[in-house]
Structure 1
Amino acid sequence: MTTSYAELKAQIAELEKQAFQAREAEISNAKNKIREIMQAYSLTIADLGGTAKVTKPRKPVEVKYRDNSTGQDWTGRGRAPKWLEGKNKEDYLIK
């Protein structure tokens, strides 16, 4: 007798649930072991060579060119916009 598609999907869902629960239990056990070892040897994250990468928010690029008649602008980076095609970009330079 063959197993139906619906039955296989139900089995997959149950196995995924079991796998998630097993992973959560293993992670919890690993964290406890790590915590115990770190406490026993008075270790810190810095002792392990771990570094937290801190990223600073980037300042937006300032606009260099503006078409005052339409209000459109461009930073001067990347491909030039359509509104600037065939025109001298120096005429639109913000001073």
Structure 2
Amino acid sequence: MSSYQDLLAQKAALEKQAQELDKALADARRAERAGVIAQIKNLMNEHQLTVEDLAAKPGKASSAGTAGRKVAPKYRNTATGETWTGRGLQPKWVQAAVAAGKKLEDFAI
């Protein structure tokens, strides 16, 4: 059986090894990251990409020009003249009419 002093010495040695291992891990991670960053930069140069290209969402470029545009109404309440584009939640007048048995097509413009 080991004495208390022996166990404390072992603990100190293990803690020193753990610190050295942590430093070695950090160094290895830094070196690996540097290699990956260099590889990414080479690929970006090869394909003439910019950081902005990486931030852009694929397939969204064409819809960006239409964002915020007004949409023509598709449905009209003949009694009040209210309109609805057919997008988003149904207005209360549409909900009430559908609940009363009418079809959405009855209000099509």
Give the TM-score taking structure 1 as reference length.
0.48
The structure whose residues are more often helix, as a share, is 2
Give the TM-score taking structure 2 as reference length.
0.42
